[in-house]
Chain A
């Protein structure tokens, strides 16, 4: 079939990222962004967090969370620029900046999570 659109693939990532960020991100932000800095809950020590981070389970969990959420942002933001900012004429640039940005972020995530030591 002519010119088969590959948007389906990015929509799949967008959906998966939407699910993952909807379920997991709020509690992360609540704890690390509000509860710990504001002292509502005592922040765990650096040592204990590092130990938690070094577990392979944690690293895979964070990898999935980060990669999918980044592609969720990329796809949604791409279409927000098309419709909200009426920038569809910059299609190629937007595609590169959004999905490219998400890919870059994913590479950074992989690198950081591999080198947690």
Chain B
């Protein structure tokens, strides 16, 4: 952007309010937004867990058993439950916001949002089912 427009030489004393560190608590919609953004932390966390699983599987049965024991620890279960809820928050907000970014037009009219959102959920259920079948059935 170009530099700020020059004001007159007799610049009045404008008052600039500072934004509070806790601006995101001032309104529920802002808080929801920050929670949605923080879901990314759990995305990263679960990828780390996944990589630990890969490593443990490679190292052998006892390593994997150790990891499974750790995963069974009540505190870890609690953390993972919280994380799972955040993941669901991510998935749901992601799907619901898709039609705002991807606008499809058919016959000159905009495709209704729900017709873009719904297939995402359907695909999600199907893909999850397939993955579960592959993992559990292995």
Contact = CB atoms under 8 A, between A and B. Distances in A.
User: In their complex, do chains A and B touch, with some C-beta pair under 8 Å?
Assistant: yes
Contacts of B68: 36-37, 43
B131 A27 contact: yes
B136 interface: yes
Interface string B103-134: 00000000000000000000110011001101
A115 interface: yes
Interface string A35-69: 01110011110111111110000000010011001
A10 interface: no
Interface residues of B, number: 50
Contacts, number: 150
Interface string B66-92: 001001100011001101100110110
B64 A33 contact: no
B66 to A, nearest CB: 11
Interface residues of A, number: 54
A23 B55 contact: no
Contact of A116 (B58, B90, B91, B128): B58
B17 to A, nearest CB: 14
Contact of A72 (B40, B57, B65, B81): B40
A7 B95 CA distance: 23
B41 to A, nearest CB: 7
A37 B94 contact: no
A26 B16 CA distance: 44
Interface string A64-78: 011001101110110
B138 A48 contact: yes
B42 to A, nearest CB: 9
Given A24-B127, A27-B132, A72-B43, A109 B51 contact: yes
A93 interface: no
Given A29-B80, A29-B84, A115 B138 contact: no
- 3 tightest CB-CB pairs across the interface, nearest first? A73-B44, A33-B80, A76-B40
Interface of A: 17-19, 21-34, 36-38, 41-44, 46-53, 62, 65-66, 69-70, 72-74, 76-77, 79-80, 84, 86, 105, 108-109, 112-113, 115-117
7 contacts: A24-B127, A28-B131, A31-B135, A33-B71, A33-B80, A73-B47, A84-B37
